[in-house]
Amino acid sequence: MKKRLKCAVLSFCVFVMFGGVNLASADTTPEIEAIFNWAETGFPEFFSPPQTTQMIGEWTFRHYPTSPSGDIYAGVRNNEVFVLGGPWGTDNPTFIDSVANLTSQITASGGDGSVSACSNSSDLPAGMVVTQSGNVVNITTNGQCIVIPLEANNFCETPAQPEPTGISVLTTVNVTSSKTTGIEITQPGIDPLGSIAEGFSGTSCTINAFSESLIINSDICIDVTDSFSGFSDFPGITINPPVTFATASTTTGQVIADCFTTNADSIFDAFTGETWVKDPLGGGFTQVSF
């Protein structure tokens, strides 16, 4: 970064910064994602609208081509944070601080790099990025297949509400695409990945929800190789690792009068924390505890 870059055009400057390096060497971490999210939340005049994380060479970065302050990049290399463009100019990337120091400062100030619509957005698997613009939340793994627990299919959990809102919202998940690789099944009646796909679809209802209905766009890929390594001995199943499951979906919400009169699979009260699940044998909903 001590090399001075004379760049009249920002895109060319970025090419010089990132060019001529191994395109597979960059990585991201929850700390880096938290810093980017914190910057977008606290300094929208520079880092907006929210962007997804990209990786080139040794750099992990987000690009804000239409921010109110101009064309801006925020990037991390070797655990150091830099910005380029806008008020910082395009001649030379400006060093901000180390990832460790910024993380400590964000934590000390009460921030966590989260987005307001998802209570768990600051505690996500490495490689997963959650951003928010208005009532739209985008969840992505940026085309990479990451390792996460199979049961972890809710990446945007409803935040607890400090007081009753009186609003009930029915959310429906529409899976627009899904694809598996690395596993071939020829035996009829066997579908070990079917339960995963089912886990990413369905309906739920929230009592005392946000005043606005969210739209959640998800485009993720999961590496499930370890979970299916034991299936290689099953007749009719051939494993050619890596085994991956990619899915894209859109979750939409609709304000309704009463969650208990819907066909939701589950109901959650964001104020009391109570949860109900649909009785598979009929007869309404049964309250459960965790």
Domain stop point among 82, 113, 144: 113
170 with 131, same domain?
yes
Domain stop point among 56, 87, 113: 113
77 with 151, same domain?
no
Cβ pair 67, 47 in contact under 8 A: yes
161 with 72, same domain?
no
* Alpha-carbon gap, residue 204 to 140, rounded angstroms: 21
pLDDT of residue 153: 66
160 with 242, same domain?
yes
11 with 74, same domain?
yes
Domain span at 26: 1-113
pLDDT of residue 20: 40
151 with 77, same domain?
no
- Please name every residue paired with 277 in a beta bridge, in sequence order, or none if there are none: 266, 286
pLDDT of residue 109: 56
- pLDDT 10s digits, 191-206: 655 556 666 778 999 9
- pLDDT 10s digits, 247-282: 999 999 899 999 999 999 999 999 999 999 998 877
pLDDT of residue 123: 74
Question: How close are the terminal C-alpha atoms of the chain, in Å?
Answer: 50
61 with 143, same domain?
no
The closest alpha carbon to 85, from 63, 57, 102, 60, belongs to: 63
pLDDT of residue 191: 63
Which regions of the chain are under pLDDT 50? 1-13, 15-24
179 with 47, same domain?
no
